[in-house]
Amino acid sequence: MSIKELIESGKTYLGIEFGSTRIKAILVDAAHEPIASGSHDWENAFENGFWTYSEEAMWKGLQDCYQSLKEDVRVRYGVTLTKLGGLGISGMMHGYLAFNREGKMLVPFRTWRNSTTEQAAMALTKLFSFNIPLRWSVAHLYHAILNGESHVKNIAYLTTLSGFIHWKLTGEKVLGVGDASGVMPFDSENFCFDQKMLKAFNESIAAHNVDWKFEDIMPKVLNAGESAGSLTKEGTTLLDASGDLEAGIPMCPPEGDAGTGMVATNSVRKRTGNVSVGTSVFAMIVLEKAFKKLHTEIDMVTTPSGAPVAMVHCNNCTSDLNAWVGLFSEFAQAMGMEKDMNKFFSVLYNKAMEADRDCDGILSYNYFSGEHMTGFEEGRPLVARTPQSKFNLANFMRSLLYASLATLKIGLDTIFVEEKAAVDKIFGHGGLFKTKGVAQSILAAAINAPVSVMETAGEGGAWGIAILATYMANKKQGEKFEDYLDEKVFAEKKSETLAPVQADVEGFNAYVAQFKKGLPIERAAVEHLQ
């Protein structure tokens, strides 16, 4: 069938993801290839002490995004989109969306970005002996309870952004397991919220005159591939204001952006993982079994199929590196050279491959902001070296590249060295990997494991949730999600894998050892450079 015929017969699948700065829609065909897209830019607002997006902005953004997709379909294929084989909603994880019995939002959406929950998160971490990050939904809820907020007594339902949108489109109060694992600690073995922690939480809030239990206000948790209802007539009007879209479209469980990112990089199988690099950097490692020991620097979530995942998140990655490349660009322009940023990045990154493996004593700290992994609430980017260091361009650039991943490695060492978790392959994605082979080889050295970079990063989380919709609609009886991805989605996707080089591993280890010794230099800069 032609793409036009697939669209007309309802054999395409739509994924929509609510990101922090953009709502994106991706339409895929039966071969999982993107065939159309749409988007809507939006921004959070700081109101009454909280970062939020208004409910009006959510629905306006959704409709505008869908309209953009619909127009792309019309222009490309000359057809109006009226049918779909499946639909999925993804969104920023965590945060706080609380509703009363009538379905009214009790307070404006409190996003993952809010850090008002420190006291509550610390108390829950101690209560559970399990790391509860500030952004998790249960931390926001506990904060509201401890603060004596008047709306708490009226809570009848608590969910995430993806769960809220899905509920209004289908009438179903459900949540995909990956998103649910950022609400409350999840027991992967028994596929439910951790019962001991639920009991402890309920006992803790009893003294605050709360007449509901946590499980009473939570959505039903679903696994990848399960049916999560279908688009209602009322839901179609929220999505497509023109009324062209037909009701009855099957919908997959709503998911969080971490889970859809794992899908988009084919890293949901145990002993795999992905590293996403940009302004910040995070790694997600799919574990064979959950940790027994508390690590406050590691977040524990799950894949969309419920496997435990250890997540290392660092606030700082490429900002300092980009600033230095910008400085070299400014110098080149002052010398009358043509500005070509792609060439600058390529030349400078490849120059780093000529360096001493340990950068010969040159240290870079890329801390534009604080970094919880190493105990910094603020940061100061800086470079330090000994008088004996070979201060050449190669060593300098390699030090900057090492610095972008050094703090991540400190967190990953907790997973791989202290907890002895195993990984067979890591998938890298993000701008740092655009220069072929450079950052990929450095990441392989950092984790001492093969790193693969796909020829195309797909379309990110919106593509990932569209794939979850196709799996729900087309999976065979008993077909595992991991097998579906390997055999039907990524079998023909080209990727390049680099194994770690032992000399690079030793060099990176030496650099990170000196990086940790030099952290007092960074501390002094924070204290004295105002």
Give the pLDDT confidence of 408-419 residue by residue, as tens digits: 999 999 999 999
Q: Which amino acid is at 101?
A: R
Sequence-ordered list of residues with C-beta below 8 angstroms from that of 50, at least 6 positions apart, any chain: 108, 110, 111, 114, 116
Q: How confident is the model at residue 459 (pLDDT cuts 50, 70, 90)?
A: low
Q: What is the mean pLDDT of residues 63-74?
A: 98
Sheet holding 255-256, edge to edge: 34-41, 22-28, 13-18, 86-91, 255-256
The neighbour count for residue 455, using CB atoms within 10 Å, is 8
- Per-residue pLDDT at 124: 97
How many Cα neighbours within 13 Å face the side chain of 332?
16
- Per-residue pLDDT at 458: 47
Q: What are phi and psi of 528, to 5 degrees?
A: -110, -15
Q: What is d(CA 238, CA 258) in angstroms, rounded to the nearest whole number?
A: 25
Higher pLDDT, 230 or 116: 230
Lowest mean pLDDT among 206-220, 315-329, 443-457, 470-484: 443-457
Q: Which amino acid is at 482?
A: E
Q: Which amino acid is at 287?
A: L
Decide if pLDDT at 74 tops 70: yes
Chain centroid, CA 320 distance in Å: 22
What is the share, in percent, of the chain residues with pLDDT greater than 90?
85
Q: What is d(CA 32, CA 365) in angstroms, rounded to the nearest whole number?
A: 41
- Per-residue pLDDT at 485: 96
Q: How confident is the model at residue 455 (pLDDT cuts 50, 70, 90)?
A: low
Lowest mean pLDDT among 76-85, 92-101, 172-181, 457-466: 457-466
Lowest mean pLDDT among 394-403, 441-450, 520-529: 441-450
Q: What is d(CA 27, CA 38) in angstroms, rounded to the nearest whole number?
A: 9
* Dihedral angle sign, alpha carbons of residues 107, 113, 114, 120: positive
- Per-residue pLDDT at 102: 97
Q: How confident is the model at residue 27 (pLDDT cuts 50, 70, 90)?
A: very high
Residue 174, token pair as written in the block: 């459900």
Q: What is d(CA 431, CA 438) in angstroms, rounded to the nearest whole number?
A: 12
- In the chain the first and final C-alpha atoms are separated, in Å, by 64
Backbone conformation region of residue 238, classed left if phi is above 0, alpha if psi is from -120 to 50, else beta: alpha
* Topology, domain 94-159+184-217: Nucleotidyltransferase; domain 5 (3.30.420)
- Per-residue pLDDT at 456: 54
Question: Contact at 8 Å (CB) between 25 and 69?
Answer: yes
Reply yes or no on domain 266-316+411-498 having CATH 3.30.420.40: yes
In the DSSP assignment, the letter for residue 171 is S
Q: What is d(CA 82, CA 68) in angstroms, rounded to the nearest whole number?
A: 14
Helix axes 319-334, 393-413, angle to 10 degrees: 170
- Per-residue pLDDT at 101: 96
Q: What is d(CA 516, CA 296) in angstroms, rounded to the nearest whole number?
A: 18
Q: How confident is the model at residue 450 (pLDDT cuts 50, 70, 90)?
A: very high
Reduced to 3 states, what is the DSSP secondary structure of residue 256? strand
Sequence-ordered list of residues with C-beta below 8 angstroms from that of 493, at least 6 positions apart, any chain: 266, 454, 455, 456
How many residues belong to the chain? 530
Reduced to 3 states, what is the DSSP secondary structure of residue 498? strand
* Dihedral angle sign, alpha carbons of residues 126, 190, 88, 282: positive
Nearest C-alpha neighbor of 181 from the set 116, 216, 133: 133
- Written in H, E and C, the secondary structure of 204-243 is HHHHHCCCCCHHHHCCEEECCCCCCCECCHHHHHHHCCCC
Nearest C-alpha neighbor of 283 from the set 449, 454, 497: 449
Decide if pLDDT at 363 tops 90: yes
Going from the C-alpha of 504 to that of each of 63, 252, 434, the distances in angstroms are 50, 43, 20
Query: Which residue is it, tokens 């993952």?
Result: 112
Please tell me the pTM assigned to this model.
0.88
The neighbour count for residue 319, using CB atoms within 10 Å, is 18
Q: Which amino acid is at 89?
A: I
Domain boundaries, the chain: 94-159+184-217, 266-316+411-498, 319-373+382-403+502-528
Q: Is there a shared CATH topology between the 94-159+184-217 domain and the 266-316+411-498 domain?
A: yes
Helix axes 341-351, 438-447, angle to 10 degrees: 40
Decide if pLDDT at 234 tops 60: yes
Residue 332, token pair as written in the block: 């080149």
Mean pLDDT of the chain: 94
Q: What are phi and psi of 17, to 5 degrees?
A: -125, 130
Q: How confident is the model at residue 431 (pLDDT cuts 50, 70, 90)?
A: confident
- Per-residue pLDDT at 492: 84
